Amino acid sequence: LGESQGSASDDLGTRLYEQLAYYRARAPQYDLWAERRDTFDRGELNSPWHDEKRTLRRALDLFEPHGRVLEIAGGTGQWTERLIRHTALLTVLDAAPEPLEINRRRIRRHTRMVRYVNTDFFTFETDERFDNVFFSYFLSHVPPDLFAEFWHRVRRLLKPRGRVFFIDNLPSTRAAELDPEETADDLSVLRQADGRTFRVFKILWHPDELRRTLSRLGWDARVHPTGDYFFWGEGRLRDDGPQGSVPHP
Residues of the shown chain interacting with ligand SAM in the complex, contacts defined by CB under 6 A:
19-20, 23, 34, 73-75, 78-79, 93-96, 99, 120-122, 136-138, 141
Least distance from C-beta 125 to ligand SAM, angstroms? 13
Q: Which is nearer to ligand SAM, 219 or 230 (CB)?
A: 230
The helix-helix angle for 97-108 and 12-34 (nearest 10°) equals 30
Contact in structure between 134 and 166 (CB atoms under 8 Å): yes
202 vs 211, beta carbon nearer ligand SAM: 202
- Distance of alpha carbon 168 from alpha carbon 163, whole angstroms: 17
Q: How far is the CB of 123 from ligand SAM (least distance, A)?
A: 8
Q: How far is the CB of 201 from ligand SAM (least distance, A)?
A: 9
103-111 long-range contacts (CB < 8 A, ≥24 apart) are 103/74, 103/75, 103/76, 103/77, 106/76, 106/77, 106/80, 106/81, 107/77, 107/80, 107/81, 110/81, 110/84, 111/84
117 versus 220: smaller Cβ distance to ligand SAM: 117
* Shortest Å, Cβ 95 to ligand SAM: 4
Query: Do residues 187 and 12 lie in contact, with contact meaning Cβ atoms separated by under 8 Å?
Result: no
CA–CA–CA angle 186, 96, 109 (5° rounding): 120
Give me the sheet containing 219-225, strands edge to edge: 115-118, 89-94, 68-72, 130-136, 158-169, 230-237, 219-225
Q: Which DSSP state fits 67? A: S
Q: How far is the CB of 113 from ligand SAM (least distance, A)?
A: 19
One-letter amino acid at 160 equals: P
In the bound complex, what is the minimum distance in angstroms from residue 79's beta carbon to ligand SAM?
5
- Nearest to ligand SAM of 27, 237 (CB atom): 27
Q: Residue 63 or 137: which CB sits closer to ligand SAM?
A: 137
The residue among 104 and 216 lying less far from ligand SAM, judged by its C-beta, is: 104
